[in-house]
Structure 1
Amino acid sequence: MIRNLRHLRVFLEVLDTTSVTRAAEACHLSQPAVTQAVAKLEAEAGLPLFRHMPQGLFATEAGLALGARVRRALGRLDAAAAALSPRLALTTTGSQLRALIAVREAENFTLAARRLGLSQPSVHRAVSDLERETGRPLFERTAHGLIATKACRTLADAARLAFAELDQAAMELAEMAGREVGRIVVGSMPLARSLLLPQAIAAFRQTRPLLTIRVEEGPYDDLLGALRRGETDVLIGALRLPSPIADIRQAPLFEDDLVIVARPGHPLAGRGGLTLAEVAEFPFVVNRPGSPIRSLFDAQFADQAIPAPRSLIESGSLILMRQLLEQSDHLGCASRLQVAAEIAHGHLVPLPLLLPGTTRPIGLTTRIDWVPTASQQAFLDCVAQAARARTVRPYSQIQ
């Protein structure tokens, strides 16, 4: 965990000036203090960051990699800090920022302290010091807890992204040293969980058996928020068109469409000439409002001026849908590829009804300025390889 901001600023001065003496002057520190800061960073990195030469100190490959990440992290943090106070960028510490983030999330000093493993007075003092430096309150005290102000949210978001960048720096340095350090956090939507991720993770594990992969699930808005805050590295699943916000990048992998499914033996199974009005008479299991599948589902009935089904179970759980369909005459509307395995195993059957205009892109969503580490890129390559193995079969091939 490379999080000492003062050491990192000293490191950048040495990197830019190639001199301990000049870095000490620029940082208003003694030469031994600069040497000690660099030595601590090298100990954390497990690699030399500089080559000592008669002309000065010159960055190693590890030093250049760390420098690039540190510039990105501090650039983001300093821009947010400068908007609050001219001196804040130079005076704030990593500990203060971690306290700020924790209080913002917990909305309570005691809960934030427990999360950080610190005393409540320590966390309160860290936030108070930041408020004193900025000259403004960072939280509104309400009966329901501490609510972050706009200034607090801006600084906390920048700090979180800066720390995410430094975590990536630690991963890169570990990779250079032949170690597996850190984790990859994936925000996964239902199709990716059942179709892409198992194959991609299995392939990734063949070359990196120890690196932790965390798969986060939840509503799209929650996953997108975690991505933008730096808590998640990549989202995998249905893309949103148009893009919901400008600071993300969406990369399509393949296209999928929707299918209506039922249990084997359902009254509509295998019937020819089936119409949308006929399926609308049955209860449905379909995704919650706001999801791409639900929007396309609703559009089918609106476009044909047919009343939508009145009896709905709103859930994105494939397991729930399968179990309910197997025990009743409910119908389900789902991604064709997501239910392909259920159809292949005979648990569900597709109804012979085309759903025009339901093709949607499936792909990757990342922050627009995110630069993956070698391990993260290797994982993305495994996801892309898994996607290439999946093709959307036209309706005629599954009848």
Structure 2
Amino acid sequence: MKYPQVLAFVRAATLGSIRAAARSMDISQAAVTKTIKTLEEDLGVALFSRGVRGATLTAAGASLLPRAMLIVGQMELLPGDIRSDERGRVSMGVLPVATALLLPHALPAFVVSRPHAPLRIADGFLSTVLPGLRDGSLDFGICAIESDRLTNFFRFEPWFRSRAVVVARRDHPLAGRPCGIGDLVRYGWVYAGSRASVLDLFFNHPRSGAADEPLIIEAQNVTAGIVAVKSTDAISIAPGELAAQIVANPDIVLLDVTDPLPETIIGLLTRADGSLSANAQMLVELLRAAAQRIPGLEHC
């Protein structure tokens, strides 16, 4: 298997046609077709099913695509890794709490040192980071890992613990008085991470007494989550480290929860079988140093 074969396969699969793949590679359609055919012969399987609607991936092709995309992605990083001016792109997924706490300390130094390096910052929830690490579109994540989702494919380096708080709109029925887990589960929930984790932490809690699964609103960004909390009786869990920023919003308050609330461990998530580019490694080191020197964090 040769890299031009993998590249032709990935371009045809992701762009949807041999013609588009040929155009993107600046070669003829016949050359792309021949290259893919040679790859199929080498592997002993058909990767595309040809028909009147063009070429569609077979089961074998769909199985190969994620790994092939990772190979192409890693190859595209090579020029940036060896250039003297360090122009290599860095893509990372960062949780909101890590964004607020760590980026202000790490980002300025990175930009000064690597002024021409493109930087992509994605959401740091596992629903984004795990697929991104698998297909190579993300270099690393700063996230809260759930142990049952940490397979041998990934490596996790714990940095600090984050303790939860519960927030609601200012005139919520639970605002201004002590409440327990049993009170919380009577209301809907706004969440931005794993739905299963919300259910496990609260509705399967021994003190919940919840008989039915409540309304759960999935918010894909912070703004949507704030709007959902402000405009409904739904409540939400948030990192305690961001409590001061949260209550700066006059429409949001912290609830006085008397039962112990869960804590999460936040740290660096990478692929176990790969190494970071020079630029990605530099940014990781800056973020790690920021986590170590911020006062008040409960370091691991």
Smaller-chain TM-score bracket = 0.7 to 0.9
Which residue identity is paired with 2:161? E
CA deviations 1:123-165 (Å, max 9, x no partner) are 32321222234443123457796124437744x5555444444
Rounded to whole Å, the distance in 2 between the matches of 1:297 and 1:259 is 13
Rounded to whole Å, the distance in 1 between the matches of 2:154 and 2:23 is 33
Q: Mark the structure with the bigger radius of gyration.
A: 1
Matched, 1:254 2:160: yes
Matched, 1:282 2:187: yes
**Residues 94, 125 of structure 2: 8 Å contact kept:** no
Which residue identity is paired with 2:246? E
User: Which residue pairs with 2:37 in the alignment?
Assistant: 128
**Residues 49, 57 of structure 2: 8 Å contact kept:** yes
Change (3 A) 1:151 1:306: closer
Give SS of 1:257's match.
Answer: strand
Give SS of 1:123's match.
Answer: helix
**Residues 226, 232 of structure 1: 8 Å contact kept:** yes
**Residues 258, 355 of structure 1: 8 Å contact kept:** no
Change (3 A) 1:339 1:148: farther
Query: Please, which of 121, 133, 147 is the counterpart of residue 57 of structure 2?
Result: 147
Which residue identity is paired with 2:46? P
**Residues 140, 149 of structure 1: 8 Å contact kept:** no
CA deviations 1:187-246 (Å, max 9, x no partner) are 234444444335432332232222111123486345312212322210121112134321
CA deviations 1:159-178 (Å, max 9, x no partner) are 5444444445433322xx3x
Alignment length (residue pairs) = 296
Question: How far is the alpha carbon of 1:100 from its aligned partner?
Answer: 0.9
Question: How far is the alpha carbon of 1:256 from its aligned partner?
Answer: 1.1
User: Which residue pairs with 2:241 in the alignment?
Assistant: 337
Question: How far is the alpha carbon of 1:290 from its aligned partner?
Answer: 4.2
Give the superposed CA RMSD: 3.2
Question: How far is the alpha carbon of 1:108 from its aligned partner?
Answer: 3.7
Rounded to whole Å, the distance in 2 between the matches of 1:291 and 1:115 is 41
Query: Please, which of 345, 366, 370 is the counterpart of residue 274 of structure 2?
Result: 370
Rounded to whole Å, the distance in 2 between the matches of 1:355 and 1:114 is 61
Question: How far is the alpha carbon of 1:277 from its aligned partner?
Answer: 2.8
User: Which residue pairs with 1:25 in the alignment?
Assistant: none
User: Which residue pairs with 1:84 in the alignment?
Assistant: none
Which residue identity is paired with 1:261? V
Give SS of 1:337's match.
Answer: helix
Question: TM-score if structure 1 supplies the norm length?
Answer: 0.63
Change (3 A) 1:373 1:197: same
Rounded to whole Å, the distance in 1 between the matches of 2:224 and 2:67 is 39
User: Which residue pairs with 1:224 in the alignment?
Assistant: 130
Bigger proportion of residues as strand: 2
Question: How far is the alpha carbon of 1:268 from its aligned partner?
Answer: 2.1
Change (3 A) 1:151 1:332: closer
Change (3 A) 1:366 1:148: farther
The within-5 A match list for 1:322-333 is 322-333=226-237
Question: How far is the alpha carbon of 1:319 from its aligned partner?
Answer: 1.3
Rounded to whole Å, the distance in 1 between the matches of 2:118 and 2:63 is 29
Give SS of 2:257's match.
Answer: coil
Change (3 A) 1:135 1:322: closer
Rounded to whole Å, the distance in 2 between the matches of 1:162 and 1:246 is 19
Rounded to whole Å, the distance in 2 between the matches of 1:182 and 1:366 is 18
Query: Please, which of 209, 217, 226 is the counterpart of residue 313 of structure 1?
Result: 217
Structure 2's unaligned 5+ residue stretches are: none
User: Which residue pairs with 1:351 in the alignment?
Assistant: 255
The within-5 A match list for 1:1-399 is 88=1, 92=2, 94-113=3-22, 116=25, 119-141=28-50, 146-150=56-60, 153-154=63-64, 156-174=65-83, 177=84, 179-217=85-123, 220-272=126-178, 274-287=179-192, 289-290=194-195, 292-293=197-198, 295-300=200-205, 304-307=208-211, 310-338=214-242, 340-356=244-260, 358-388=262-292, 389=294, 391-392=296-297
